[in-house]
Amino acid sequence: METWTSFLIRNEPGRIAGPDGSVQSSSQSEPVPPNCHWRVRLIHDYWRLKQAERLRHADGGGLPAYQEFDLREVSGLVPYIWLIDVAPGPMRFRFHSVGEVIAMWAGEDNSGRWFDEIWPTYDPVVFIEVVKSRQPSWCRGPSTFRPARREYEIERVRLPLASDGTKVDMILALSVFYDREGREILPGENKWSILPC
């Protein structure tokens, strides 16, 4: 059985996907494209490793649970991660925790807050699809939470988690931010301060 450490040693981080000016989305057959950002690839591959471990050792469904993730193994990704709690019918979504890069981009830490309380008109269809399909979701394009930032792109992956292996009760998401030229915006760059709220 391959460990996450051996996986990291074997796989060097990839390259940043180049922008083409349009929103790119994943398909069910290939949820994360091969040219995605290396952080997206690493968290997706870590999720797949945990899913494979769950399938080998658990009865029932094959989705990993949040409790099976050791974020110390992916500590360099934690600032880019946001965890979403899924409340069943009527389906609602709540920020469980928000990484510092996500909070920096948003201008606030929304941990513990419900999506529909922050954005009453927001349509969470992409999150609903992850819950229903029980499959990862990837896209790259403008922000859906903050549409005023249309000149910037965000690459995001959303990964379903299930305490019982079947029913999605949490979504692990990771986001990477790009400037107008398609270059990644890194923490500490002046570009963060010019992002409108």
Q: Quick check: 151 pLDDT over 70? A: no
Residue-number span of the structural domain to which 46 is assigned: 25-182
Is residue 118 a part of any domain in this protein?
Answer: yes
pLDDT for position 112: 96
pTM of the model: 0.80
Is residue 33 a part of any domain in this protein?
Answer: yes
Q: What does the alpha-carbon distance between residue 167 and residue 3 come to, in Å, rounded to a whole number? A: 26
Is residue 124 a part of any domain in this protein?
Answer: yes
User: Which CATH number does the domain housing residue 109 bear?
Assistant: 3.30.450.20
Q: Is 139 in contact with 26 (CB distance < 8 Å)?
A: yes
Average pLDDT score over residue span 131-148: 83
Is residue 138 a part of any domain in this protein?
Answer: yes
Is residue 113 a part of any domain in this protein?
Answer: yes
Q: Is residue 191 very low, low, confident or very high in pLDDT (cuts 50, 70, 90)?
A: low
Q: Residue 83's beta-bridge partner residues?
A: 97, 172
Number of domains in the chain: 1
Q: Please, which residues have CB within 8 angstroms of residue 136's CB and are 6 or more apart in sequence?
A: 26, 31, 32, 44, 47, 130, 157, 158, 159, 160
β-strands 170-178, 153-161 pairing: antiparallel
**pLDDT more than 90, % of the chain:** 47
